[in-house]
Amino acid sequence: QGTCGTCGAFSSVATAESARAAVLKRRAVNELSEQYFYFCNSQPEHDHTCEYGFYMTEIAKEAAENGYRWLKCWPYKPNDGTYWCGFLQCDSAAPYGPTGRFKSVRLSDRTTMKSHIMAYGAVLTGMLTNNFMNNYAGGVIKSYGSEDLTSGHFVSVVGWNDDQRYWIAKNSWGADWGESGFFRISYDNQQFMTANGWLGAPLGFIYTPGRGE
């Protein structure tokens, strides 16, 4: 995502790709556009600038109402912002994204979240954080609730380990960060996989395939 506040778009796209892969019985691949979802979405309250970020309610509404577009047609160019919204950058014929529908589901407890991941794919969650994420190089993140948490961040939770009591999540800072772009975080963290004020409750997607899928 670079220096742009698009973690919500990246994590939403990763979660949507996982949901689509789950129902189509295939491996999730990076094929949906973060650029379009963030800069070209139709939510009137969204600022469409790198400084703004996303609210969970905006993500859920945009995913359900307008879905996603193909990455090859709108590659990630944050410095150009909304400039490319009206321009195709691919030779593909319409439709320019998945033809199915994404339904968002709010998840409130650990058991339900695990069941959703097993059946429908990854879960989108917000977390309160600070600079400790910048310094993460691997291992299980223990409790950080006593620190000064000054900012919000979105990630996509893809799995868990009950024996060692941690979640496995995908970050949006590239494969060179953390554990090949992923991190592990303890169940004991009260700031993770819970409803955090404006960040909202964890969100799952259920994808209904469209024609020809």
> How confident is the model over 48-98, as pLDDT tens digits?
777 777 778 888 888 998 899 999 999 998 877 788 788 888 887 778 899
The pTM assigned to this predicted structure is: 0.91
Instruction: Name the least confident of 10-19, 20-29, 196-205.
Output: 196-205
pLDDT bin (cut points 50, 70, 90) of residue 9 is very high
Distances (CA, A) of 4 to 84, 103, 137, 138, 189: 16, 27, 22, 24, 26
43-57, 97-111, 138-152 — which one is most confidently predicted on average? Answer: 97-111
Q: Would you say 117 and 159 are in contact if contact means Cβ atoms under 8 Å apart?
A: yes
Q: Return the higher-pLDDT residue of 187 and 94.
A: 187
- Residue 122's nearest CA partner among 132, 114, 130, 110 is 114
Give the per-residue pLDDT at 83.
82
Instruction: Name the least confident of 15-29, 43-57, 89-103, 113-127.
Output: 43-57
Give the per-residue pLDDT at 47.
65
Q: Find the angle CA(90)-CA(95)-CA(99) to the nearest 5 degrees.
A: 130
Q: What is the mean pLDDT of the chain?
A: 87
Q: Return the higher-pLDDT residue of 83 and 46.
A: 83
116/140 Cα distance (integer angstroms): 23
Q: φ, ψ for residue 183 (rounded to 5)? A: -150, 160
Q: Return the higher-pLDDT residue of 71 and 151.
A: 71
3-state DSSP call for residue 8?
Answer: helix
**Mean pLDDT, to the nearest integer, of 109-136?**
89
- Residue 15's nearest CA partner among 54, 73, 52 is 54
Give the per-residue pLDDT at 157.
96
Q: Is 80 exceeded by the pLDDT of residue 203? A: yes
Instruction: Name the least confident of 57-66, 106-115, 148-157.
Output: 148-157
Give the per-residue pLDDT at 144.
63
How do the domains of the chain map onto residue ranges?
7-208
Give the per-residue pLDDT at 147.
59
CATH topology for the 7-208 domain:
Cathepsin B; Chain A (3.90.70)
74/91 Cα distance (integer angstroms): 11
Preceding amide of 75 cis, omega within 30: no
Q: Would you say 15 and 123 are in contact if contact means Cβ atoms under 8 Å apart?
A: yes
